[in-house]
Amino acid sequence: MAEAAGARVAALRAAGDRGAAVTAMGEGAAAVLAGLHAAGRVGAVLAVGGSGGSSIAARAVRDLPVGLPKLIVSTMASGDVSPYVGAKDVTLMHSVVDIAGINRVSRRILGNAAAAASAMAAADPGPEAGGADRPLVAASMFGVTTTAVDAARQRLDELGYEVLVFHATGSGGRALEGLAESGMLAGVLDLTTTELADDLVGGVLSAGPERLTAAGRRGVPQVVAPGALDMVNFGPRDTVPERFGTRNLYVHNPTVTLMRTTAEEMAELGRHLAAKLAAAQGPAALFVPLKGVSALDAEGMPFHDPKADEAAFEAMAAFPGAERLDLHINDPEFGRAMAERLHELIGGKA
């Protein structure tokens, strides 16, 4: 494992740096698994560990394809599991007791894990829904842009595509970026770019600064809209940072509080979005819904603020060919128009 990572066990031991050793073993395990998978010798991956073992396992499975079973029995599975799951379909099972020998509890849990991994490996997923020959398109969606994405998805389905929808919750955006990077996608319909707002302002659903870059870097055709840029996400109302106490807040449900972005923030988001698209190495289009960017931004709704929206729209004009439509983002015509343009861009690339 160490050699697969370009290291030597003796050197790692001599250095006495546990963190460096764990990192090297994770990289080595990933390299070994990649080779085994390429040779058709992996039906599932089952791992067991505490914090160190779980981090090694998480790195080992990170580059394996979606759909290949990946199960980690971990002492860390009852807390924040995002460092272990990342943007892949990793299943975590809580070990309940420490990974320190076999006892009446661990025997049952580890037995269940072995049975689950073997069953997943043996399971026949059946025929591909819609046919494996349909080109893949990724779309980003939030509850407040569902109507638009449904319209776009229906049109793309009619045009012969299979649409994968990603919920724009941070992990969803990272998963979309990872899939765009993988080369599996024919196009991206990035209608909901709200994660950019969380990254800029400090919300809890940021997908990181690399959001909205993978498709452009890989030359994948993309059609983008400022969906839900009017909001930043926080947890329950009492978790909203004190500095935002006077802002326009909306309690979406007991666990989610939304904050309206200001004109200044919208302008900055518009600049970021235009710059990311301008850097794209492939065909890209930008659609601007002049009557609102989310369900809460419609006329009469709590986040309706045309001046703030226009600040973003003006900044987006820096991207050549930005299309301003006199529609709300959830008007079905808007989603269908984005779908039609993506089809054109994919055809043009081909």
**Do 98 and 205 sit in the same domain of this protein?**
no
CB count, 10 Å around CB of 123? 11
Angle between helix 146-158 and 332-349 (nearest 10): 40
Q: Of the residues 94, 123, 152, which one is the last residue of a structural domain?
A: 123
d(CA 185, CA 345): 13
**Do 97 and 146 sit in the same domain of this protein?**
no
How many domains does the chain contain in total? 2
**Do 169 and 276 sit in the same domain of this protein?**
yes
- Closest among 201, 136, 185, 144 to 168, alpha carbons compared: 144
**Position 231 pLDDT exceeds 80:** yes
Q: Indicate which CATH number applies to the domain containing 54.
A: 3.40.50.12020
**Do 195 and 322 sit in the same domain of this protein?**
yes
Q: Is 129 inside any structural domain? A: no
**Do 176 and 296 sit in the same domain of this protein?**
yes
**Position 125 pLDDT exceeds 90:** no
**Position 344 pLDDT exceeds 60:** yes
Stretch 284-309: mean pLDDT = 97
**Do 143 and 113 sit in the same domain of this protein?**
no
**Position 321 pLDDT exceeds 90:** no
Backbone angles phi, psi at 213, to 5 degrees: -130, -30
Q: Where in the sequence is the domain holding 191, given as residue range(s)? A: 136-347
**Do 96 and 153 sit in the same domain of this protein?**
no
Cβ contact 33:58 at 8 Å: no
**Do 256 and 279 sit in the same domain of this protein?**
yes
**Do 117 and 142 sit in the same domain of this protein?**
no
Q: Is 319 inside any structural domain? A: yes
Q: Is 130 inside any structural domain? A: no
**Position 130 pLDDT exceeds 50:** no
**Position 292 pLDDT exceeds 70:** yes
**Do 150 and 6 sit in the same domain of this protein?**
no
**Do 198 and 85 sit in the same domain of this protein?**
no
Q: Indicate which CATH number applies to the domain containing 270.
A: 3.40.50.12030
* Pair of tokens at residue 321: 């060919």
pTM for the structure as a whole? 0.79
